[in-house]
Amino acid sequence: MMTMQKLVLTGLIAGVGLSACSMGPRFRDRDDLVVTPSACAAKRFDVYFNEDQDRLTTSALEAIGLTATQLQGCRIQSVKVLGLASATGAAAENMDLSQRRAVAVAEALTAAGWPAPAFDIEAAGDAGATTTAGVQEPLRRRTEVLVEAAPL
């Protein structure tokens, strides 16, 4: 008998619990819950260069163009462009190369329609370059671009 009472009591509790769930707020439409992230947000991308070069490659121009297209209709608040160079060669030459790389990227972004006053152009030479273990030089021959953007 005790087992039968437990079953009845369990059934009553389950029934009350399920009916309480159905009394709660109705489910909302999925579109009300899922929000598409704004394209006008912070972005970071790297522009790679050939060794000892400050000329933009086809891939670099594509990366710049893609980011410019993604941020159309956004207010560009700031753009930090940091030029880097490999660890080979004299420090002064690496610093000069880094500066020229940063300027080349900033000029390409300006040509894509970005506001020139928003740019902060820096060079780190080989001092600020980071690498992944076993992969040295290509990661150093780049310009880092950090963009802060907001909706208009």
Report the pLDDT value the prediction gives residue 4, as an integer from 0 to 100: 55
pLDDT mean across residues, the chain:
80
Q: Which fold has domain 43-151?
A: 60s Ribosomal Protein L30; Chain: A; (3.30.1330)
Instruction: Find the Cα–Cα–Cα–Cα dihedral 126, 132, 133, 138, rounded to 10°.
Output: -60
Question: pLDDT tens, 3-15?
Answer: 555 554 555 555 5
- Average pLDDT value for residue range 25-44: 75
Helix (H) or strand (E) holding 16: helix 2-23
Question: pLDDT tens, 120-139?
Answer: 999 988 776 555 555 555 56
Extract the tokens encoding 90: 């004299």
Closest of 50, 1, 38, 9 to residue 148, by C-alpha: 38
Q: Residue ranges of the domains in the chain?
A: 2-33, 43-151
CB 116 within 8 A of CB 18: no
